[in-house]
Chain A
Amino acid sequence: GENVEQHPSTLSVQEGDSAVIKCTYSDSASNYFPWYKQELGKRPQLIIDIRSNVGEKKDQRIAVTLNKTAKHFSLHITETQPEDSAVYFCAASPPTGNQFYFGTGTSLTVIP
């Protein structure tokens, strides 16, 4: 089955700096890669996703890049703000089986 690894497990950045979170996956058939943000005690919420037919997707301060050959994808947050502080999860989903395989999460702290 699919195995998703996520790094780093914790990340602290100064407000205004950029944050990068990286994930690798093992199943080359996976073709959908969402990122979820989970604030303390709240539900995970989708912030951005990418499909394997594109290499990069951007939405305001958030971008995701995908390298299919290397089987890794990354979340980039620019101009970080304190409200970006949360746990971020990457996930990979193959085209069959309705499975989403999640990484172990990155706890991001943005220091004002």
Chain B
Amino acid sequence: GAGVSQSPRYKVAKRGQDVALRCDPISGHVSLFWYQQALGQGPEFLTYFQNEAQLDKSGLPSDRFFAERPEGSVSTLKIQRTQQEDSAVYLCASSWGTGGNTGELFFGEGSRLTVL
């Protein structure tokens, strides 16, 4: 596709359920980022991949959060035993570059997670 695609767009989970959010970046983009955006806030960094390597996961809020990008393209963000504070929009972004300042971030439309 022409842009970054995320699915599902909306997810409602009961507290304690596991969820998986998918990101399909722009073809050929080496860098992939996951961000968490709470209502009325800016995106908060979660994790960064360069191809299949997860180079930075310092933003993951707890060990319930796990991300992978096994073949260097599609990425999945998994949240185990969801809590109400996990409710947010999860944004995926990709860019062509590597190293510092990877260039323009192209964002997906996000996955809105609501934990009841």
| Residues of A participating in the B interface, judged by any CB pair closer than 8 Å | 4, 6, 31-32, 34, 36, 42-46, 49, 89, 91, 93-105
Contact = CB atoms under 8 A, between A and B. Distances in A.
Given A43-B107, A98-B48, A104 B102 contact: no
Contacts, number: 65
B60 interface: no
Interface string B86-116: 0000010000001111101101111000000
23 contacts: A32-B101, A36-B105, A42-B109, A43-B91, A43-B108, A43-B110, A44-B91, A44-B107, A91-B42, A94-B100, A95-B101, A96-B100, A98-B48, A98-B100, A99-B45, A99-B48, A99-B56, A101-B45, A102-B42, A102-B43, A102-B44, A104-B40, A105-B41
B65 interface: no
Contact of A34 (B31, B45, B98, B105): B105
